[in-house]
Structure 1
């Protein structure tokens, strides 16, 4: 029989899709109020270099960027962050039927990157409040490992380099007892 432990904490990871830098900047201010300041920011890239899925909703100039935030979050209730970011997505739009940003929150631990979604699928586990979680990539033997459902842009070399750097920072914080 295992011994029950308290839920661990992890640093929030957020992938943000946006068309206008001002929308990104405004969103980062809002996210920082709850998640802490940005600890690390990945490269900005064009979403259409990896998928055409969002063109109809956002157009073909859509950009995306990964962020790690400074405030550790208890994983027992982390899915509530996804509920909040969904509210932010739809609350930020001047048009009732659309979004001006897409926010994909999760967390990065030394062993994995986890994302949250409102969509169920075979590899996702229900967390509560209509939210599912998936391990998007594993860390193994010095690099992140692609899984069958890992999106192409997450496994892109520049984003993996960013995640490896962020992971190094997280390992250092963990060793200092800061997580």
Structure 2
């Protein structure tokens, strides 16, 4: 029989989608206040698999990932609600200047928070769902069929393998 247990801490991650680097810097200041100083930052990846955000945020968008010190995964809804607030204060006239998607990485997966219900998402609380976007198996991350196109194509794989190595190191130091 299994008994309830506390989860291991996770590496909080935040994807920042933006067109103007000044918006990235503004978002980072607020993220630091929420989660601490980043422990790892990705390169900027082109956001070129959809034009979904183009009417609101313009063209030539890029995505940068920030990883933060270990936290309890039960805080994920709080991170999502805080990121929504950051987006709202940074936006102008009903549009966002940056799209912030918080989540976490653990030994086997990358989970992002969402305010959209879907069959593959699990409700947490306060209008926030958990969405498993990548799974780790046999030395690589892969995107399930229901994930986003830029997750499925593998462009983030090397970065998240590096995050996974960092995660193991941070757990040992805890």
- Whether TM-score is above 0.5 comes out as yes
Equivalent residues in 2 for 1:1-150, closer than 5 Å: 1-47=1-47, 49-69=48-68, 71-95=69-93, 97-150=94-147
Kept in 2, the 8 Å contact 1:43–1:158? The answer is no
Cα distance in 1 for partners of 2:86, 2:33 equals 13
Structure-2 separation of matches of 1:87 and 1:73: 20
Gaps of 5+ in 1: none
Q: Among residues 158, 161, 170, which one is paired with 1:173 in the alignment?
A: 170
List 4+ stretches of structure 1 deviating above 6 A.
Answer: none
Superposed, 1:141-160 pairs within 5 Å as: 141-160=138-157
Of Structure 1 and Structure 2, the greater strand share is in 1
Determine if contact 2:111/2:130 at 8 Å carries over to the other structure. yes
1:18-58, Cα deviation, whole Å (9 max, x unpaired): 111111111111101221111111121221x2111111111
Secondary structure in 1 matching 2:156 = helix
Match of 1:94, SS state, is coil
Instruction: State the TM-score, normalizing by the size of structure 1.
Output: 0.91
* TM-score (norm. length: structure 2): 0.93
**Aligned residues of 1:43 and 1:159 also touching (Cα < 8 A):** no
What is the distance in 2 between the residues matched to 1:45 and 1:4? 39
Q: For this pair of structures, how many residues does the alignment match?
A: 174
